[in-house]
Every structure is written in structure tokens, then in C-alpha cells.
Amino acid sequence: MAKRYYWPKKAIFLITTLLIFMVIVMSAFDREVPYTKDDQTHDSIASVTAFTQVYKVLMSPRCMNCHPSGDVPLQGDDSHLHTMLPRRGKDGKGLYAMKCTNCHQPENTPGVRTPPGNANWHLPPADMKMVFQGKTAHELARQLVDPKRNGRKNMAQLIAHADDDLVLAGWNPGEGRTLPPISHAEFKKAWLTWIRNGAFAPAP
Ligand code: HEC
Ligand code: HEC
């Protein structure tokens, strides 16, 4: 009699154990592959979202005024053509008597409507104009990662460009000029998030 109670109990125990084991095995298969240390996590949504922040900065006057579609830099928050029409020239540093550094000093000139300063103040060169003006977010994202159009920069150099002198100049624009829409720290964070998640371009 005792035996008849003993076996079903054992069977229930075995079946329960088996079920728990199966649940553990199945949930293990269901789990995503854990990220390893060097895993490049390419999250296209995070990338594109970050680029919308980056794009707002690139298209702000502090940046776009030096990345014009023509050969004359732009001025002001309305990005009008630079007065006296200094031209790009082959190296981006101006032509003849209208060299950028004739007027743009190493530091901002005090006062309103005075030239912003930087020792390296110039436009991108004629053979690599790096135009921002008029570009959609899709077009600009594609251009920025293309070494044939971004100044022959690889990904590491592109990342480093967040702290470039002329990029930083955008946040030290001189009296009376508006700042880019987000802080440099926020810009850098978005720039890195965009690139490290695969530098995806927003839909055209
Ligand atoms: C005084 C003019 C000037 C200003 C202002 C300026 N840039 Fe540039 N920018 C340049 C020049 C010149 C180059 C090319 C130099 C190089 O590639 O090293 C360049 C290159 C770049 C590049 C790499 C080229 C590409 O298309 O991939 C990026 C990105 C960039 N600038 C972003 C910015 C941002 C962001 C701002 C504003 C916060 C800004 N720039 C403001 C002159 C300027
Ligand atoms: C004859 C003097 C002169 C020369 C040459 C000159 N600039 Fe300027 N630039 C100025 C003055 C003055 C301002 C400020 C005007 C204002 O803000 O109303 C200015 C403003 C600018 C701005 C606007 C900055 C901003 O954030 O809005 C850019 C960009 C610029 N210059 C680029 C250049 C480049 C590039 C060259 C060379 C190709 C150059 N400039 C040559 C006098 C000059």
C-alpha cells in the first residue's frame, strides 16, 4: 500500500523537475546574445535620433556661415553673403588683398559687428568645399562619412573633429551673435552617439 503512494509522488517530482529544466533551457535560447566588450552596438534609431541634434547645429549660422554652397562666406544670423565679398580661393584662406586673416585676428575683436577671431580662420578648400548650406539631413549625413567629401577623414578623425578649433569657435562667436542651439557638450555627445551607433543617415 505504501508503495502505491510512493511512486506517484516520485513521478510528480520528476515531471516538475523536467518542466522547470525545460523552462530554463527555453528561456536561455530566447535570450539575446549578450554584448561582448568590443561589441559595436549599431543602434540605427539611436544613431538617427542623435543626428537630428547634430544637424540642427551644423545648419545653425555659426557653422553654416563657413560652410556655404558658393565661394563667399556668409554672415549674421540670417546668413547673408559676407560684405565686400571675400572669396574662398584655392586653400580657403581668401584671395589677393582679401585674405581672411587680414581682418579675422587670432582672438575675437571686441565690439559688435566685428570679425570673430581664430588663428586658423578660413573656409574649406576649393577642391573639398564641405558644403552644409542647402543640404538635407540625409545628404549631409552621407557627406560627413564619405572620405572623398569630408576632407579625407576616417572615423577616428571624424570623432576627433568634435573638438576642432573652428568647431569650438562656434561657441565663442563674439558679441551680439547667437550661440548654436545646444551646448558644445551636448553636441559632442550627439556627434559620438551618431558615429558610434553606425553613423546612419536619416531617411531621404
Ligand atoms: C571659420 C570657418 C569655420 C567655422 C566657423 C566652422 N567651420 Fe567647420 N570647417 C571649416 C574648415 C576650414 C574645415 C575643413 C578643415 C578640415 O577638414 O580639417 C571644416 C570642416 C568641418 C567638418 C568636417 C568636414 C565634413 O564635412 O565632414 C565638420 C564636421 C565641421 N567643419 C563642423 C563644423 C561645426 C559643427 C561648426 C560650428 C559649431 C563649424 N564647423 C564651424 C571651417 C569652419
Ligand atoms: C575686409 C575684412 C574681412 C575679410 C577680408 C574677411 N572678413 Fe569675414 N568678417 C569681417 C567682419 C567685419 C565680420 C563681422 C560682420 C558682422 O558680423 O556683421 C566678418 C564676419 C565673418 C563671418 C560671420 C561669422 C558668424 O558667426 O556669423 C564669417 C563666417 C566670415 N567673416 C568668414 C570669412 C572668411 C572665410 C574670410 C576669408 C575668405 C573672411 N571672412 C574675410 C571682415 C572680413
As a whole number, mean pLDDT of residues 37-50 equals 77
Cβ atoms 182, 56 nearer than 8 A: yes
The overall longest dimension of the chain from CA atoms, in Å, is 114
What distance in Å separates the CA atoms of residue 11 and residue 7, rounded to the nearest whole number?
6
Q: Which residue CA neighbors atom 33 of ligand 1 most closely?
A: 167
What distance in Å separates the CA atoms of residue 63 and residue 189, rounded to the nearest whole number?
17
* Residue 180 Cβ < 6 Å to ligand 1: yes
**How far apart are the CA of 159 and the centre of ligand 1, in A?**
13
Grid cell in block for residue 7: 511512486
**How far apart are the CA of 167 and the centre of ligand 1, in A?**
6
pLDDT-derived band at 12 (thresholds 50, 70, 90) equals confident
CA dist list (Å): 108 to 61, 80, 94: 17, 20, 19
What distance in Å separates the CA atoms of residue 73 and residue 83, rounded to the nearest whole number?
9
In whole angstroms, what separates CA 194 from the centre of its chain? 5
Cβ atoms 53, 187 nearer than 8 A: yes
Mutation test residue for ligand 2: of 64, 66, 85, 103, the one with most atoms within 8 Å of CB = 103
Tell me the one-letter amino acid at 13: F
What distance in Å separates the CA atoms of residue 75 and residue 80, rounded to the nearest whole number?
5
Lowest-confidence pick of 30-39, 69-78, 89-98, 192-201: 30-39
Close Cβ partners of 29 (under 8 Å, ≥ 6 residues apart): none
What pLDDT, on the 0 to 100 scale, is given for residue 4? 59
Number of the ligand closest to the Cα of 177: 2
Phi then psi for 43, rounded to 5 degrees? Answer: -100, 100
Lowest-confidence pick of 32-46, 89-103, 161-175: 32-46
Close Cβ partners of 154 (under 8 Å, ≥ 6 residues apart): 147
Does residue 167 surpass a pLDDT of 50?
A: yes
Grid cell in block for residue 64: 553654416
pLDDT-derived band at 9 (thresholds 50, 70, 90) equals confident
pLDDT, mean over the chain: 90
| Residue 140 exposed, middle or buried by CB count within 10 Å (0-12, 13-18, 19+) | buried
